[in-house]
Amino acid sequence: MKGTRNIFLVGLMGAGKTTVGRQLARALNLRFEDSDRVIEARCGTNISTIFAQEGEANFRAWEKMVVHELTAEDGIVLATGGGVVLDMDNRANLKARGYVIYLRAPVEVLVARTSHDRGRPLLQDTNPHLRLNQLYKIRDPLYREVADLIMDTNNRGIRVVVKELLRRLDRRALLPSNPLPPT
C-alpha cells in the first residue's frame, strides 16, 4: 500500500462511485467523502448552479482544490467526480496518495442509470448516449492510467460489486489492519 489507507473511486457519471464508495467505507470502517458534495458545501449551492453561474472552468478549479485537500487525508474512501482525471495534478495526487479503483460500466448502463438525473449538467441539453460515448473515449485511458484496480460493474447490483471489491482488496492485502473506530 502507498503509505496511506485511502481508497479513491474514479469512473464516469453513473458508474456507482458514490453508492459503492459509501458501502465500501462502511465495510472497511473508513470515512466516506464525496468531492462533489464537499464542493457544493463550500459553494453553498449545487453542481448544476455552479456550472451555470461560474462555468465549468471554475468548477474544475474548485474540484482541484478539494481533491488536493481530500487526497491528503488518511483513512478515507473518496468518490470523485467523473471529470477529475482530466487534470494532471489531480491524477498525480490520486495515484500517489491512495489506492485507486476504476469503476467501469458499459455506456448503455451509464445512460440508463443517469437518465432521470437533472443534477448532471454535462448530460443536459444533449443526447446522453452520444455525450457519454465521447466522454468514455477521452477518459477511459485516463482512468486506466491512475487505476490500481479496474472493476467491471456491468449490470451487477451494488452489493455484488462491493463484495467482489472487498475480496480483491483482501487478496492484495490492502484491507487496513487497524480499521478506524466508527465515527
List residues binding ligand S3P (CB under 6 A).
13, 17, 36, 47, 81-83, 120-122
In order, the DSSP letters of 126-175 are: S-HHHHHHHHHHHHHHHHHHH-SEEEE-TT--HHHHHHHHHHHHHHTT-S
Closest approach of ligand S3P to the CB of residue 17, in Å: 6
**Which residues face 33 on adjacent strands?**
78
With 0-12 / 13-18 / 19 or more C-beta atoms within 10 angstroms meaning exposed / middle / buried, residue 177 is: exposed
Q: Find the shortest distance in angstroms from Cβ 58 to ligand S3P.
A: 12
- Closest CB to ligand S3P among residues 17, 97: 17
Q: Which is nearer to ligand S3P, 18 or 29 (CB)?
A: 18
CA 112 from chain centre, in angstroms, equals: 18
Cell numbers linked to 110: 451509464
Q: Which is nearer to ligand S3P, 11 or 75 (CB)?
A: 11
Nearer to ligand S3P, 63 or 148 (CB): 63
* Rounded least distance, CB 162 to ligand S3P, Å: 17
Residue 174's CB is within 10 A of a number of other CB atoms, namely 17
The minimum distance between CB 89 and ligand S3P, in angstroms, equals 16
Find the shortest distance in angstroms from Cβ 116 to ligand S3P. 13
* Residue with smallest beta-carbon separation from ligand S3P: 81
Shortest separation between residue 107's beta carbon and ligand S3P, angstroms: 13
What CA–CA distances, in Å, run from 179 to 28, 61, 74, 94, 144? 7, 33, 12, 21, 28
Pick between residue 56 and residue 74 the one whose CB is nearest to ligand S3P: 56
Q: Which is nearer to ligand S3P, 3 or 106 (CB)?
A: 106
Q: Is the dihedral of CA 80, 81, 83, 86 positive or negative?
A: negative
